[in-house]
Amino acid sequence: MRFRAPLFALLLVAGSLALPLAAHAAIPFLGPIIPEDVNRCAAGWGMVMIVINNIISFLITIAIIFVAPLMIAWSGFLFVVNPVNAAGKEQAKKILTSTVVGIVIALAGWLIVDAIMAVLYNPATVGQTWSQLVTSGGAKLCLPLAGSLKQVPGLPSVTIPGVASKFTFDPGIDAQVPTASGPLATLLSCMVDKVPAGVGRISSISDSLIIKGQKTFAQCATGGCQHSANSCHYGGRSCIGSSYAVDFGDEQNMSVLTAAAQACGGATLNEGTHLHVSVGAASGCGCGI
């Protein structure tokens, strides 16, 4: 009993520490280790950081889900088969204690690295993983290649016939027109002939941070911009480089715009303050509506 009471206390303390640490470190993580972006471009420093981060998360997951239970089970077996053998019981105790302490140290080390990097690198990003801290400072997911599609400024203009004359734009949103993909431009060109004059106030195409040069499509696609990660506004998972979605801000005309968008092959979602229209899923971009 002198062994079991301290052991129970150790497991209780270790468990209370390990669970929030594991949640913070996005554990369990079972892949993929290599981001899908690597299939579309040469990996930059930001992508290298993500891969290293994923490897560490995977190793911690293996330790927690597979190694730790096996070691705990082995120590329990030794304890059961050595009820009167002091040496066997001591060995079981050492195995169990080392396993629990090792897991807690691994997870605590993860948090310590996060805290140090947040303070030294960017205090505003406390709570993010260290790969996210690095990429939030401008580390590129992809290496710039000669002749490749450049992000705004410099993105080739997309012509959307009739849109500028019939649809209106919220302040600054017209600057996002060049980020529209070909399929999105086709959708908008189709919609302008199906709505009354004065209907159709575009409130977003891609993201203002992309237009200002503060973020790339690839960076916004991982989160931290106006829309959620892998949004069709950033090309989803498979079409990063252009927007495949548009938001209309005229709440009073949502039914008319919904009918026009659906007639032109677009998917719609009424988000209360605006109507989200997308051709991302239809274009195979790996995003929802």
Q: Which of 129-138, 207-216, 261-270 is predicted with the least confidence, judged by mean pLDDT?
A: 129-138
pLDDT tens digits, 117-134: 666 655 555 555 555 555
Is the pLDDT at 244 greater than 90? The verdict is: yes
The Cα–Cα gap between 277 and 39 comes to: 28
More confident residue, 126 or 88: 88
Q: Which of 202, 215, 211 is nearest to 245 (CA)?
A: 202
The Cα–Cα gap between 288 and 264 comes to: 17
Task: Note the pLDDT of residue 224.
Answer: 84
Q: How confident is the model at residue 258 (pLDDT cuts 50, 70, 90)?
A: very high
Task: Note the pLDDT of residue 153.
Answer: 46
Task: Note the pLDDT of residue 150.
Answer: 37
Q: How confident is the model at residue 38 (pLDDT cuts 50, 70, 90)?
A: low
User: Per-residue DSSP letters for 206-223?
Assistant: S-HHHHTTSS-HHHHHTS
Is the pLDDT at 6 greater than 70? The verdict is: no
* CB atoms closer than 10 angstroms to residue 107: 24
Axis-axis angle for helices 86-121, 45-62 (nearest 10): 160
Whether 107 and 17 have beta carbons less than 8 Å apart is answered as: yes
The Cα–Cα gap between 262 and 164 comes to: 21
The Cα–Cα gap between 67 and 74 comes to: 11
Task: Note the pLDDT of residue 100.
Answer: 83
Is the pLDDT at 264 greater than 60? The verdict is: yes
Task: Note the pLDDT of residue 134.
Answer: 53
